[in-house]
Amino acid sequence: MKLSDLQDIDFKNVGGLPLPVKAVLLLAILLAVIAAGGWFVWKPMLDELQKAQIEEWGPDKNSGLRGEYESKLAQAANLDNYKAQLKEAELKSNILLQQLPDKSQMEGLLTDINQAGIGRGLEFELFKPGTEKPSALYAEMPISIRVLGNYHDLGAFAADVAKMSRIVTLSELSIVNVNVNIKDSKGAIQGKLAMDAVAKTYRALDKGEMAPPKKKGAPPKRGGK
């Protein structure tokens, strides 16, 4: 079929047109319908589909509603594990808190530290409790100490403190020679040393000392004064 044949088509008498001409006309009509449908019907539908896909998957295919759902689903699957870990942490916390003396027992603990040094033949030049530093559940009390003795007795004293039933730690340690000879427990002559340290003790807070939980602010009033 030639282009000149199309120019000679009588559109008022389509039924009488040759079959090849009818086929070309039908194809042209279908293409026009498809193009019109694509622009006016399918394009808006595709835009909506793309919008829905972004909402479901997110622009990076992992941050939309599906990604959020899968993340929460994974969290739900691990919920029992999280609960077990929390229970274990609470148990450890309670065990540690039970090792802390209360306020009424602190004086006895300080006496125990002092007696541990005296029991090793050490001489206290300084034993000065500092200011307590409270936290959420316990208070820390630093004690500045300076003790004199030989090397082995100082080491034994530090070991005795570490083995106490209550939590006591030694920090900021420094040992210097004071140029004095002394006899150890076996009668041997040894140089006298001075050990400076900060012994940190901890006590459980009384209920009255714990900070009350923060209250949520009241919602603002609407209208009126």
Domain match, 112 and 192 both: yes
Domain match, 204 and 109 both: yes
Name residues of the chain where pLDDT drops below 50: 1-3, 224-225
Domain match, 110 and 202 both: yes
Per-residue pLDDT reduced to its tens digit, 162-215: 888 888 888 888 888 877 665 555 555 566 888 899 988 888 877 766 665 555
Strand partners, 37: none
How crowded is residue 191: how many other Cβ atoms within 10 Å of its Cβ? 12
For residue 69, tell me if it sits in a domain.
yes
> DSSP assignment, residue 212?
P
Domain match, 56 and 114 both: no
Domain match, 7 and 70 both: yes
Domain match, 131 and 66 both: no
Q: How many domains does the chain have?
A: 2
Instruction: Please answer whether residues 193 and 158 qualify as being in contact, where contact means their C-beta atoms are separated by less than 8 angstroms.
Output: no
For residue 214, tell me if it sits in a domain.
no
Q: What is the pLDDT at residue 225?
A: 45
Domain match, 65 and 145 both: no
Q: What is the pLDDT at residue 96?
A: 72
Give the residue numbers spanning the domain of 19.
1-77
Domain match, 120 and 170 both: yes
For residue 190, tell me if it sits in a domain.
yes
For residue 98, tell me if it sits in a domain.
no
For residue 135, tell me if it sits in a domain.
yes
Domain match, 123 and 39 both: no
For residue 218, tell me if it sits in a domain.
no
- Domain containing 120 — which CATH number? 3.30.70.60
For residue 93, tell me if it sits in a domain.
no
Domain match, 39 and 110 both: no
Q: What is the pLDDT at residue 119?
A: 92
The last residue of one of the domains, among 29, 61, 77, is 77
Query: What predicted TM-score, i.e. pTM, was given to this entire model?
Result: 0.50
Instruction: Please answer whether residues 190 and 182 qualify as being in contact, where contact means their C-beta atoms are separated by less than 8 angstroms.
Output: yes
For residue 97, tell me if it sits in a domain.
no
Phi/psi of residue 215, each to 5°?
Answer: -90, 140
Instruction: Please answer whether residues 109 and 117 qualify as being in contact, where contact means their C-beta atoms are separated by less than 8 angstroms.
Output: no
Domain match, 107 and 203 both: yes
Rg (CA), the chain: 43
